[in-house]
Amino acid sequence: MKVDTRHIPVLLQPVMAVLQPAPGMIIADCTLGLGGHAAAMLAAIKPNGHLLGIDFDAANIEIARERLSRVEPRDRAGQAATFTLVQTNFAALDLVIADAGLAPGSLDGVLADIGVASTQIDDPERGFSYRRPGPLDMRMDSRRGESATALIARLSERELAAAILDFADETDAPAIAALIVQRRTEQAITTTEQLSEVICEARNFTPQRALGAKLHPAARTFQALRILVNREMANLERLLTVLPACLRAGGTAAIITFHSGEDRRVKHAFAAGLDSGIYSAIAEKPLVATSDEAGRNPRARPAKLRWARRA
């Protein structure tokens, strides 16, 4: 029987081992998603603990809310653990803490699972997937910002090439950007199918060869555009900046990334914090999925977990 991996949280055991959620703790899950990590942590912080969940996507919040409501909130003495869910970007963690009535520097743990949720990829109407026909949108919060269609129509060839190279390490970025700019003068690129076809042509992939490739030729470019549309790098950098002020002394931050550009930023920020004395310890090497987890959940294969402990 095929297992639905969308509800399986990535690197759950390493996350729990690093953050060590315990009764009474206050923990923030900055990327709530479907609530897998949050449910495990909520169960561990009762009694009297509090979970603060943040997500950009309103649909994810409702799915997570239902999942968290099924976690037994009370211990045998009847004391409860509670949760608050907020729809915003994780870059606003410090503001969310203040709005929740919590003091600055009160978090025992912070988790951020950087990347796109499975529900977003699997919904063709969101436009994240090169494998599913749909409008070329890619916004995690459809209420704000430019869609991928708008960005592709506006950016210069140089800007497109730089983003595709920086955010996805795509070596064919110049050729892809050049053909996108050429094709958009002939017809607006408004669907995932159109964009995927342009990328395959730029990389000399026939449809048959693309389907048989280990990594689809459009995968990296779609990733780069998603990051660009949602300002993911800028948001990650702001989160890394405000993190120390959100953690109590001895509190731990754990960040899961899925590609080298994200991992580099986390690695450098944590190393700089260690050198300056903000952090007392950081992960020497990223934690990755075991062969067993990667076999059960292919989405975990590229994941890297780094952690830092507040001095």
User: What is the model's pLDDT at position 233?
Assistant: 92
- What residues does each domain of the chain span? 5-118+233-310, 142-229
Q: Which residue stretches of the chain have pLDDT < 70?
A: 1-7, 73-80
> Please, which residues have CB within 8 angstroms of residue 104's CB and are 6 or more apart in sequence?
94, 97, 98, 245, 246
pTM (whole model) above 0.75: yes
Q: Which CATH architecture has domain 142-229?
A: Orthogonal Bundle (1.10)
- In angstroms, rounded to a whole number, what is the distance separating the alpha carbons of residues 97 and 102? 5
- In angstroms, rounded to a whole number, what is the distance separating the alpha carbons of residues 192 and 184? 14
Strand-strand pairing, 107-113 and 247-257: parallel
- In angstroms, rounded to a whole number, what is the distance separating the alpha carbons of residues 260 and 251? 26
> Please, which residues have CB within 8 angstroms of residue 91's CB and are 6 or more apart in sequence?
234, 235, 236, 238, 239, 242
**Which of 29, 41, 171, 186 minimizes the C-alpha distance to 110?**
29
User: What is the model's pLDDT at position 138?
Assistant: 94
**Which of 39, 32, 27, 91 minimizes the C-alpha distance to 60?**
32
User: What is the model's pLDDT at position 132?
Assistant: 86
User: What is the model's pLDDT at position 78?
Assistant: 56
- Biggest alpha carbon–alpha carbon distance for the chain: 69
**Amino acid, single-letter form, for residue 280:** S
- In angstroms, rounded to a whole number, what is the distance separating the alpha carbons of residues 15 and 21? 9
User: What is the model's pLDDT at position 241?
Assistant: 97
User: What is the model's pLDDT at position 95?
Assistant: 96
Omega within 30 of 0 (cis) for the link into 47: yes
**Tens-digit pLDDT profile for residues 51-76:** 999 998 888 899 999 999 888 755 55
In 110-218, which residue ranges form alpha helices assigned H by DSSP?
118-122, 148-154, 157-168, 173-186, 192-202, 207-212
Q: Is 18 helix (H, G, I), strand (E, B) or coil?
A: helix
CATH C-level class of 5-118+233-310: alpha beta
